[in-house]
Amino acid sequence: MPQESALGSADFHGDFLDLLASRGHSVSFGSTVDGSKLTPTESTTVLAIRYADGVLIAGDRRATAGTSILYDRADKVLEIDEHTAMAISGSPAIAYEMARVLEYSLRYYRRSQLQELSLEGKLRTLSRLIRDNLGMALQGIGAVIPILGAFDVARDEGKIYFYDALGAQFEVADFATTGSGSVWVRGALYYLNRWERQLAQLNLHDATAVVLRMLDAAAEYDAATGGYNRRAGIFPVVKRVTRGGTETLDPSTLSAIYTEAVEVTDV
């Protein structure tokens, strides 16, 4: 008679560490010599919107480990090539490695084939990288949920894609957001796009004002999302992806728009 599976009827929900705990194994990720527990570093919140010239993609700067703030200058929006940028939520260590592999893969293709990899090829490559990371995601210590902003030169339009943990890609027409603070801004973006003014009609100034307002709202309600730090002069990272290439908006531009559109003073 076959023996009962070692898993038995353990109550777990896809997290490898919870599974071990349910079997009586006291294991914690990153346990130190003195028995203290280190939780994985995570980062949130990121979003992308289509505007008149292409795609605006942005993210706050805070990286957290549990309830601790580890770093307030994390760059969560990474330039992949001239017409592609990736915003990350989840594990920065895994996400940065994915971004490097994707960047080097595109560079190798360009040099070996003497042409750019198609947008579809870029999407498939990132899907494969996310799928290959499934083991780490199931362990609860390495999930990455990115947003990809790109400018499709052939169609002369900006494109936004988001992914799930299995690497499935989804194209969105107007905006995408992910991370723990995204729950606070998704509805606001829908409202603005549906009943105020379509995001795709906004110029760079107005589109930047929208993403700064959204990240400010996320920081107000989500402890893992960092807001504007006036004392240190820390702003979110905002990049635009257009036919002319990928460009990071400088702090002076963000400061002026923040003062005008986000910092509402009493009358």
Q: What is the DSSP letter of 40?
A: P
pLDDT, residue 137, reads 81
Q: What is the mean pLDDT of each run of 10 residues along the chain (267 residues)?
A: 46 57 60 49 85 97 86 94 94 92 96 94 96 84 90 96 92 95 94 97 98 96 90 94 97 95 73
Superfamily of domain 16-262: Aminohydrolase, N-terminal nucleophile (Ntn) domain (3.60.20.10)
Task: Show the beta-strand stretches assigned E in 52-195.
Answer: 54-59, 63-65, 68-71, 77-81, 84-87, 147-152, 157-163, 169-172, 175-178
Structure-token pair, residue 181? 């603070």
Report pLDDT for 41: 61
Query: Tokens 């936004």 appear where?
Result: 160
What pairs with residue 152 in β-bridges? 157
Is 44 noted as a catalytic residue in this protein? yes
How far is the CA of 40 from the CAs of 136, 147, 220, 226, 229, in angstroms?
12, 21, 23, 18, 24
CA–CA distance, 48 with 59 (Å, rounded to integer): 9
Amino acid symbol at 174: D
- Given the residues 44, 125, 177, 178, the one annotated as active site: 44
